[in-house]
Chains A and B, each alone.
Chain A
Amino acid sequence: MKLNKKLMVIAAAGALTAASATSALAFENEFHGFYNLKYFISNYETSSFGFLSPDGQSRSTATVLNPTQGTPVVTNRIAPENRKTSNYFDQRARIFYTAKANDDLKLVTGFELDSVFGDRAQGQASRNNGGALESDATNLETKWVYLDFKIPSTPVKVTAGIQPVKDALKGIFLDADIAGINTVTKLGPATLGVGYFRAYDQSFFSTSRTNRGIDNLDIVALSADYNINKDAKVGVAYYLYNDNRNDLDINTSSATFQAPLTVHVFGVNGDMRLGKLGLSGFAAMQQGTVHSKNSGRATISGYAFNAAAKMPVGPGTLRSAFLYASGDDGRDGINTAWQSVTQTQNGVISAPANTYNESNMMLLNRAAGMEGTQSDVNIVNSINNRNQGVILATIGYDTQITPKFYANANVGVAWAAKNNAGSVSTTSNSTSSTGVTTRTDIVTPNRPVGPGGFNGTNFLGTEINLETGYKMYDNLTAKLQAAYVILGGYYAGTAANGKDPEDPYTARVMLSYVF
């Protein structure tokens, strides 16, 4: 009996000690994030997203992976010629907490708080605002929640939950936060990726469907990369975009949304280093079909390719990149435009879910690395560019002038791969059972439609931009960004009374705290 009691006490004390020791060793808590405050002076930008449109307006509607979307919603209708200058303070904070049990198991969470000084507060506020007097807004957004773990005794790493996903095509198809399960398997020099993501489940909106998981927008991502040696890597990738939200098509009498829609994306990519020269690029094609109950069948057949180079020159690094994404003129039943993923919650076409950061443009295209707050207005806001595609050539130079001071400059030139703006005749091109695709961009012409379309040329414009930064502390950098776009022939005579719209510009003073 005595021995039993002793054993029990020892066991209890041992268990307590073990428990306390485990809790002390078990978790590594990581907190990271940033705070960006930007003061904008610009004639086109707003603290929202959208295209700088050919008629000199910014639109809140991006083109979607849906070849027959409806009329874009026009917002910020300011006189296109002699536009007034906006000035506003836009701030974004992101906070990331990672609960790490060990190198092979962690939970990653990310949160975001956006607001503009003076926007809305208290009961009037929601996500993306809360910067008005007395704040007190419910505006915390949950960005990521995912488990990251390795399956024991295998080389398979899994991320399950709401997570960031970027395609192997530099983001021109998909770059977004999305819920799903992704696996990455390393087998010697090869890396295999298999992922399933559910972007939307229409049963959360539909009145006629209550079963979950039937009317979905599903995305499947497969990739294989192979390291030839330490300086060269090649890869292949396949994405399936399967929008099976039939109810949207059935319930939408105006046929602005079509489903089911299936797009297959095939891509090859490579990265290599030749001495000091770094090269990268990809080539990709898309094949797809829409079988709309409301408006018939349409075929999608787009392609894109890219090449980029960088090398040290003088005191800095010279970068250059080229992107071609195909467009469509809307003249037959085949949509030849490169399709890029866009938000379409409950069939409402909204912000883009794709990027092309390599350009380092501020106004010409959506380069998220140059943004950093909710201001997201560009000439090419989505690479699909409202089914016109894009040809974009950029060159830039980065230099670290002193350990605390850096500067970089970029020049970019962009064309629409195919011009469909303004030359819209909705009656003659509406989609029918014969499979003719509706033109997607509906712009009220300010002058007669010419033989080559409403706009004179495909040339969108030339951007010149500059960014400088001074490191006030290890974590805090004060930055200045400025960009000017000389609009091309695409915009000639598109402002009121046949005049040219004003060239877009932006100047931003910025504080960036990263930890």
Chain B
Amino acid sequence: MKKIAVMLLAAFSMSVAAPVFAAEITKEQKDQCLLASKNCASEVDSIQKKIRKLNAEIKKGTKVYSPDEIKKLNDKLKETNKFLDEMMANP
């Protein structure tokens, strides 16, 4: 019984810790996050990058996305552009 509990908790701990292990740098690799503030685990997209990424995905068209998904991406692009406009041009 105890064994099962220990095993389950160990498995749980591993699953929680896994992302941390994944982000760890091997001996041969340079830590680009420390070195150049790139590829950091907590990196989020700037609004410009988000707009670029959405445009790039929309360009892939129906070869990659269904018409519904294209519409969803277009809606997200509109929403992001609106947010940018409100952010900058709101008095």
B-binding residues in A (CB < 8 A): 2, 5-6, 9-10, 13, 16-17, 20-21, 24, 29-34, 94, 96, 103, 110, 164, 166, 175-177, 352-353, 355, 357, 366, 368-369, 371-372, 376, 474-475, 514-515
Contact = CB atoms under 8 A, between A and B. Distances in A.
Contact of A9 (B8, B48, B88, B91): B8
A24 B41 CA distance: 13
A368 B46 contact: no
Contacts of A366: 91
Contacts of B76: 103
Closest 8 CB pairs of A and B: A13-B8, A369-B89, A368-B91, A515-B46, A9-B5, A32-B47, A164-B86, A368-B89
Nearest to A355: B91
B29 interface: no
20 contacts: A2-B1, A6-B1, A9-B4, A9-B8, A10-B8, A13-B5, A13-B12, A17-B15, A20-B16, A32-B83, A176-B91, A177-B90, A352-B91, A368-B89, A369-B88, A372-B88, A474-B46, A475-B48, A514-B46, A514-B84
Interface in B37-76: 44, 46-49, 72, 76
Nearest to B47: A32
Given A32-B83, A177-B90, A355-B91, 12 more contacts: A6-B4, A10-B8, A13-B8, A24-B19, A30-B44, A32-B47, A33-B87, A355-B89, A475-B48, A514-B48, A515-B46, A515-B47
A368 B91 CA distance: 5
Nearest to A49: B91
B91 A175 contact: yes
A16 B12 contact: yes
Contacts of B9: 13
Contacts of A352: 91
B90 A514 contact: no
A20 B49 CA distance: 29
Contacts of B4: 6, 9-10
Contact of B87 (A94, A166, A355): A94
Nearest to B91: A368
Contacts of B87: 32-34, 94, 96, 110
A10 to B, nearest CB: 7
Nearest to B10: A13
Contacts of A514: 46-48, 84, 88
Interface string B1-36: 100110011011001100100000000000000000
A371 B90 CA distance: 10
Contacts of A17: 11-12, 15
Given A17-B15, A32-B83, A475-B48, A371 B1 contact: no
Contacts of B91: 175-176, 352-353, 355, 366, 368, 371, 376
Contacts of A30: 44
A10 B49 CA distance: 43
A369 B89 CA distance: 4
A164 B89 CA distance: 11
A471 B46 CA distance: 15
A357 B89 contact: yes
A175 B91 CA distance: 8
A10 B15 CA distance: 15
A175 to B, nearest CB: 6
A34 B44 contact: no
A177 B4 CA distance: 57
Contact of B88 (A34, A103, A176): A34
A188 to B, nearest CB: 12
A231 to B, nearest CB: 15
A10 B44 CA distance: 36
Contacts of B16: 20
A176 B86 CA distance: 10
A166 B19 CA distance: 43
B57 to A, nearest CB: 15
Contacts of B11: 13, 17
Nearest to A474: B48
Contacts of A34: 87-88
A293 to B, nearest CB: 33
B78 to A, nearest CB: 12
Contacts of A177: 90
A159 to B, nearest CB: 12
A9 B44 contact: no
Nearest to A112: B90
A148 to B, nearest CB: 10
A515 B37 CA distance: 15
B88 A29 contact: no
A29 B44 contact: yes
B75 to A, nearest CB: 9
